[in-house]
Amino acid sequence: MSQVLSQVLESFLPASDGWLPIWQLVVASAAVFNAMQNYTTLKLTQRIYAGTPHLVNPLQARAFGTWTITSAVIRGYAAYHIHNKAVYDICIFSYLIAFSHFTSEWLIFKTCKLNGPVLSPFIVSSLSLVWMLSQYDFYVSKA
């Protein structure tokens, strides 16, 4: 029974070598959860934008949720199509956009405080950017 379950689970994992495709799938899955919570509550989003939590309203949270689900789609697609240059490049840009957004909200607009909830997107976006850029030649064909 456990072997059958293992085979079923493995059939859903990306078939590419290395851990980057699996990382993309994990990040995409976490983003789906984050997007869904943006449609149901303001609490977690207010913790991210702790500098100005009063500015987090249902419309802003749903827009943030839509942006997050878009990122999840890009990263999920990249998990299964990691060798496609266009997909790989778009995924890199999705992390760059996220990093730029949170950096500007923290340093320029002062809506974020450097706390636990905002550290997560900083860590994920910067780690993913460095990882993807360093592994570009491994995953992307030079065709």
What's the average model confidence in pLDDT over 24-47? 96
Predicted confidence at residue 117, as pLDDT, reads: 92
Half-sphere exposure of 93 (CA within 13 A, CB side): 8
Confidence tier at 11 by pLDDT (50, 70, 90)? confident
In this predicted structure, the answer to whether residue 13 has a pLDDT above a threshold of 90 is: no
**Average pLDDT taken over every residue of the chain:** 93
Predicted confidence at residue 16, as pLDDT, reads: 87
* Cβ within 8 Å of residue 123, ≥6 positions away: none
By three-state DSSP, how is residue 94 classified?
A: helix
- In this predicted model, what pLDDT tens digit does every residue of 56-94 receive, in sequence order? 999 999 999 999 999 999 999 999 999 999 999 999 999
